[in-house]
Amino acid sequence: MKWKTHKRRTGILRQLAEDSVQAFTTKPALTYTEEEVSISYAQNVNTVKWSDFKSYLEEEDTIYLLQEHPYLAWSFSEKEIGAAVFNLKELARQKLPLLK
């Protein structure tokens, strides 16, 4: 392999690794409204409408928002999002049925 090709590939891989690490070290930002719940990490934003959730489950300091498929559950704890978890729980109680 030529030196220039090796150097270019190494630089690209280094930049990719640095971008990946930066994406996972930034704290997520949670926003929720009467219509949807959004969570954003670095440059990625995931938004789900309340109507896409089927039910919710709550513990003392955690809420689980469940979609049709069990692997699509979103969970938020007080440790992750602070006191906002209690407001999110209240909104979930209004919008979704409790999982039984």
For residue 54, the enclosing domain spans: 27-95
- pLDDT of res. 7: 66
For residue 72, the Cα-to-chain-centroid distance in whole angstroms is 11
69: in domain: yes
Contact 65, 52 (CB under 8 A): no
Instruction: Note whether residue 20 is domain-resident.
Output: no
Domain of 43: which CATH number? 2.30.29.30
In a domain, 39, yes or no: yes
Closest to 30 measured CA to CA, from 16, 40, 43: 40
Task: Provide the pLDDT for residue 69.
Answer: 82
pLDDT of residue 56: 94
Assigned domain for 1 exists: no
Cβ neighbours, 10 Å, residue 8: 11
In total, how many domains does the chain have? Answer: 1
CA distance 44 to 36: 16
Both structure tokens of 2: 């030529």
Report if residue 86 sits inside a domain: yes
Enter the DSSP assignment of 40: E
Residue 63 is predicted with a pLDDT of 94
pLDDT in tens, the chain (100 residues): 565 666 667 777 777 777 766 655 567 788 889 999 998 877 788 899 999 999 999 999 999 999 988 788 889 899 888 888 999 999 999 999 998 8
Would residue 16 count as lying in a domain? no
Residue 19: inside a domain:
no
Examine residue 7 and state whether it is found in any structural domain, yes or no.
no
The helix (run of H) or strand (run of E) holding residue 29 is strand 29-32
